[in-house]
Structure 1
Amino acid sequence: MRIVIAEDAAVIREGLVQLLADRGLEVVAAVADAEALLAAVDEHRPDVVIADIRMPPTHRDEGLVAAVELRRRHPGLGVLLFSQYIETRYTDRLLADGPAGIGYLLKDRVLDVDEFVAALHRIAEGGTALDPQVVSQLLGSRSGLGALTARELQTLELMAEGLTNTAIARRMDITQRAVEKHVAAIFTKLRLERGEDEHRRILAVLHYLRGSNGAQS
């Protein structure tokens, strides 16, 4: 996997480079601002970008703006955004073209190296990796999802984190068959037409995130 990192804090940036190299991943560029990020991706064509949301010069949303532009320029590029804080107001912009290949983690999630690397692989393969704390905050307002039961909402929350049915079964301490029933009910109640289950899974997550975020604004 080829990766470009954009992080203005030198210690974090260099630590990420070393951490990923130790896991056999190739960091083709590590830069400190959004302009350099755009240039690095155009030059190296990585599989995944890891970018801080807040970068120079204003430290507001430069990383997010660059990520949106990079997804426009390079369809299919995986993007993992970092933040020190939960910033759910960015969710709609991040997911405008769908959640496939998108991640949003809090920076302290890097401390669990296995989880962090697994999230990168999931994003590179077109999956989703959302921080559980971000998902939990979105769950606080869940417009349009009132038809789902508590267990179905919990299942959808874990789907939004990017977990497979097997992983969801372990987290909820239920059988995989029970998870499959919850997922099927979610598809039905959200009126997602039959088709590829992976496609419907992405649509369900997008519905959940957009509905939750819309209720907060």
Structure 2
Amino acid sequence: MSIDIQNQPVRVSVGEDDLLFRQGVVRVLTDGGLSVVAEAGNAVEFLARTLVHRPDVAVVDIRMPPRRDDDGLRAAVELRDRVPTMGVVLLTQHCDPEFAIELIGDRPEGVGYLLKERVGDIRDFVEAVTRVARGGSALDPEVVARMLRPRSVPQELAPLTPRERAVLAAMAEGLSNQGIARALLISNAAVEKHVTAVFRKLSITSEGTEHRRVRAVLRYLTAQRA
């Protein structure tokens, strides 16, 4: 399997302390047509090597040596601060929306949060990493589902209908309009109508469609955390 990425392979760095799992991730990415330019099993080394090679996207676990705490997350946040154009994907077994929100900060472009179990879906995983490298977003459906657990609707999202909130949640996962239509069992035309309504009701205007999507996702995530 190989994905055409504008004739140039996406360059990736990988941070993971489990050697066998890291080798598996590198193999999946390489077989998917991406170029792994750096890898490390220590968050400090991962950060240093990534800054040297400046890949298009960095993929890193949250809990890594040397402290085996949130060292990988700290490295990811620093990469986002120091190299704003670089995409960053947290690849972890911990399904915690707070980690995703901390990584996103006030800039949802080029960010992903995926569970390790998803690596088995090879094409989806490679496409998600590629999407983040291009400035898009990719949030694991389980993370989004936790944000959608029954509770009062955040005030900022109150103008949206339940269907519009579901469409916005699917946008947060990084789904295209066609993907949203399949997931929600509605037509492409209905998705376009709902997306337009989301932009209008959240007052997200006068920008390109893709940029408006990531701004809408940011509003959604910050509202869910409030």
TM-score, normalised by the number of residues in structure 2:
0.90
Taking the aligned partners of 1:17 and 1:193, their CA distance within structure 2 comes to 39
Single out whichever of 194-203 and 174-183 deviates more from structure 2. 194-203
CA positional deviation for 1:132: 0.2
Matched, 1:62 2:78: no
Matched, 1:191 2:203: yes
CA positional deviation for 1:57: 2.6
For residue 168 of structure 1, what is the aligned residue in structure 2? 180
Letter in 2 for 1:162: G
For residue 106 of structure 1, what is the aligned residue in structure 2? 115
For residue 88 of structure 2, what is the aligned residue in structure 1? 79
Query: What secondary structure, in the 3-state scheme, does the structure 2 residue paired with 1:195 have?
Result: coil
Taking the aligned partners of 2:166 and 2:104, their CA distance within structure 1 comes to 21
* Structure 1 residues 86-142: Cα deviation after superposition (integer angstroms, max 9, x where no partner): 112223321113111100001101010011001011111110000000001012255
Can you give the 5+ residue segments of structure 1 that lack an aligned partner in the other structure? none
Letter in 2 for 1:44: H
- Check whether the contact 2:43–2:66 (CA below 8 A) recurs between aligned residues: no
Aligned sequence identity (%)? 48
- Check whether the contact 2:60–2:72 (CA below 8 A) recurs between aligned residues: yes
- The alignment yields a C-alpha RMSD, in angstroms, of 1.3
CA positional deviation for 1:73: 1.5
CA positional deviation for 1:168: 1.1
Among 104, 118, 124, the alignment partner of 2:133 is 124
For residue 14 of structure 1, what is the aligned residue in structure 2? 23
Letter in 2 for 1:95: I
Can you give the 5+ residue segments of structure 2 that lack an aligned partner in the other structure? 1-9
Taking the aligned partners of 2:129 and 2:207, their CA distance within structure 1 comes to 27
Query: What secondary structure, in the 3-state scheme, does the structure 1 residue paired with 2:157 have?
Result: coil
Taking the aligned partners of 1:10 and 1:92, their CA distance within structure 2 comes to 28
Taking the aligned partners of 2:17 and 2:75, their CA distance within structure 1 comes to 14
For residue 89 of structure 1, what is the aligned residue in structure 2? 98
Taking the aligned partners of 2:97 and 2:183, their CA distance within structure 1 comes to 24
**Number of corresponding residues:** 214
